[in-house]
Amino acid sequence: MIAPRPFRFFADLWRRDRLTALGVATLLILLLLGVLGPYLPIGDATRLAVGPRLSPPSWRFPFGTDELGRSFLPRVVIGIRSTFLLSAAAVTMTASLGTLIGMVAGYYRGLADEVVARSADVLFSFPALLAGLLIAAAVGPGRITAISVIAIVALPLFVRIVRSVTLALTGRGFIVAAEVAGASTLRILGVHILPNIAGAVVVQFTYALSIGMIIESALSFLGLGVQPPDASLGSLLRQASVYLTFAPWLALTSGVVLSLAIMSVNLVGDAVRDALEPLNRRALT
């Protein structure tokens, strides 16, 4: 009997590269949990006092209960959902914007390019969390703050890489040929340049996503991101750290799940990069 394709793909991956296979598996499981979370029979995230307060992990409450007697596992699942959703949404928006800006700057060069490159430098100079404090001062803590900070950090990453690849492309024969043939700028950017920078953008996306998750959780940990009663992995850890010595399982479970989530993104990102930008080197003997 032939195994279904996804399983064969995974078995192949496992044989070739276990670390990547583990990353892919973890990422898929966490994403599934995040998407299906509310429909899973793991208990209600919001019902108070379903069990004793701060009780250690048990069969009934695999991650224990929090200070209000809520089962912690469903809360962690909600946290996974909002951490992934918020970071992915912010990074996707930033990637689209950054790709557009970088392409236009790299294609037109001149003054527009200079302005874009300088602005990227300015954004890059802001330490993420201090920028978060400033934005929180201006618009108040919350999702908007988290998304803005992720955008400030990720935008220069995309603009810089897209700009430099576009700069390298514009002198190349096939672009010049398209220009001579009278293709519109839109067509050149969309049909000729975009496919050639897609790889670099994808590689950058995985990095930006992992950085975005770190920023989102750090802001939520500081109380500047996701606000209660909503929960993200960072805000769960913030509450849990109050009871660190009495109920360490709260901090440990949310911290470990958060780290696993970021790590799975990083491992998958590494594999993507190795596949798209391979290096052949020489041995020293």
Partner 1 sequence: MTALIEARGLTLAYDSPGHRALALDGVDLTIERDESLAIVGESGSGKTTLGMAIGRLLPGEARREAGDLLVEGRSVFDMTAADLRALRRDKLGFVFQNPMASLDPTMRVGKQVALALGGRGDVAELLARVELPNPERVARSFPHQLSGGMAQRVVVAMAIARAPFAVIADEPTASLDASVRHRVMDTLGRLRAETRASLVILSHDLRMVARHAERVAVMYAGRPVELGPVAQVLNEPAHPYTRALMRAGAGGERPGERPEPIPGSPTTLSARGASCAFAPRCAMRRPVCAIVRPESRSIAGRQVACHFAEAILAEEPTVEETNS
Partner 2 sequence: MRHLIYAASTLASGLGTMLGAAVLVFVALRFVPGGYADMLLGPFVTPAAREAIEKRYGLDQPVAAQFLHWLAAIAHGDFGVSMVTQKPVLDEFLRRAPVTLELAILALIMALLVGLPLGVVAGVAPANAKRSVAAARLVGAFGLSVPDFVLGTVLILVFSMWSLWLKVGGFVPFGEDPVLNLRTVLLPSAALALFGAALILRTTRDAVLRVMTEPFITAAVARGESPAIIVRRHVLRNAAIPVVTVITTYFGFLLGGAVVVEVLFSVPGIGLYTYNGLGNRDYAIVQTGVLLAACVFVAVNMLADMLYVLIDPRLAR
Q: Where on the chain is the footprint of partner 1 (CB under 8 A)?
A: 282-283, 285
159 binds partner 2 (CB under 8 A): no
35 binds, among partner 2, partner 1, none (CB under 5 to 8 A by kind): none
Q: What is the DSSP letter of 38?
A: G
Pseudo-torsion of CA 238, 240, 244, 249, nearest 10°? -140
Please name the amino acid found at residue 190: G
3-state secondary structure of 71: strand
Among 83, 217, 235, 239, binds partner 2 (CB under 8 A): 217
* Gap between the Cα atoms of 87 and 235, Å rounded: 14
Half-sphere exposure of 150 (CA within 13 A, CB side): 36
Q: Which is nearer to partner 2, 193 or 258 (CB)?
A: 258
* Gap between the Cα atoms of 75 and 237, Å rounded: 11
Among 137, 168, 242, 275, binds partner 2 (CB under 8 A): 137
CB of 30 to partner 2, least distance (A): 13
Q: Which is nearer to partner 1, 5 or 282 (CB)?
A: 282
CB of 285 to partner 1, least distance (A): 5
Each residue 117-136 as x (binds partner 2 by CB under 8 A) or -, in order, gives -xx-xxx-xxxxxxxxxxxx
Nearest to 161 by CA among 190, 202, 189: 202
The torsion region of residue 14 among left (phi > 0), alpha (psi -120 to 50) and beta comes to alpha
Among 28, 85, 270, 272, binds partner 2 (CB under 8 A): 270
The residues of the shown chain that bind partner 2, judged by CB under 8 A, are 18-19, 23, 118-119, 121-123, 125-139, 210, 214, 217-218, 221-222, 234, 237, 241, 244-245, 248, 251-252, 255-256, 258-260, 262-263, 265-267, 270, 279-285
